[in-house]
Amino acid sequence: MDRLKDKVAIVTGSTSGIGVGIAKLFASEGAKVVICGRRAEKGEAVVESIVKEGGEASYHFMDITVIESIDKLFADTVEKYGKIDILVNNAANVGLKDGRVDEITLEMWDNIFQSDVRGTFYATKCVLPYMQKNATGGSIINIGSMASCGGDLGSTAYACAKAGVDMLTKSTALQYGKQNIRCNCVRPGLIVTPENEAHVPQVLKDIFLSNIMVDRYGCPADIGHMCVYLASDESTYVTGQIVNVDGGLNSHVPTVAQFKELNSRTW
């Protein structure tokens, strides 16, 4: 369990949900993990759970919408650990119900873009100089969303913001690949977490399960395992990729669920 041994990793938005799953798996693979977010009590609890399992972690306050807190996060991490090898841009404002184009206000649009695109961009911009100093470069992993895969009845601003993250991933990979800095994006499908489980209606779970190719919903560890691979030296020839971790949700034609209900293969 040493695929990330001696690597220093920052996982933004790791006080809950998917971020916790990623951070814990990183620590179990030997990384020194910086837990960061706005909720100090939850962050310290994550650190405590990692340390109890024999891992190494610390908490640092960060608000993805405040650039000064991002600057301080990276500076303090390098002061404490001497380098940064891995950045997971996970922190975001989930706006799945932000609405249709005619319903969204400019304030709603700006708030989502500020956290989901601007914050991810600025964190990436900040970490690059530190990774450029590493002999082995670094790995940047952006957490996208299946919302960016196609048009939907709602979640317009969120989907557009995550589509921006997809393109930021490709641009970063292209521009800094020759310096051994890789950048990839992981798009989660429906991930049921301890925080959201009680708020996901059963009807929504049923809709997803009828379209997912496997027989279960996703969990934070599913995203964490992919991130471990992309952060490790096993993936040094993988960059600029948008990887769907969605149980196969986006790999088939959209009429499959309805035909399955009819017990039919086609019309």
Annotated catalytic residues are 158
Per-residue b or e along 82-110, where b marks 16 or more CB atoms closer than 10 Å to that residue's CB: ebbbbbbbbbbbebeebbeeeebeeebbe
Helix pair angle (119-132, 156-176), 10° resolution: 20
Residues in a beta bridge with 88: 11, 141
Pairing of strands 32-37, 86-89: unpaired
Residue 111 has which token pair? 């708030």
Q: Which residue has the tokens 């991002």?
A: 70
Contact 118, 168 (CB under 8 A): no
8 forms bridges with which residues in the sheet?
32
In the numeric block, which tokens belong to residue 68?
A: 């000064």
Do the strands 32-37 and 8-12 form a parallel or antiparallel pair, or are they unpaired? parallel
- Given the DSSP bridges, would you call strands 8-12 and 86-89 parallel, antiparallel or unpaired? parallel
Strands 138-143 and 181-188: parallel
Q: What count of other Cβ atoms lies within 10 Å of the Cβ of residue 259?
A: 13
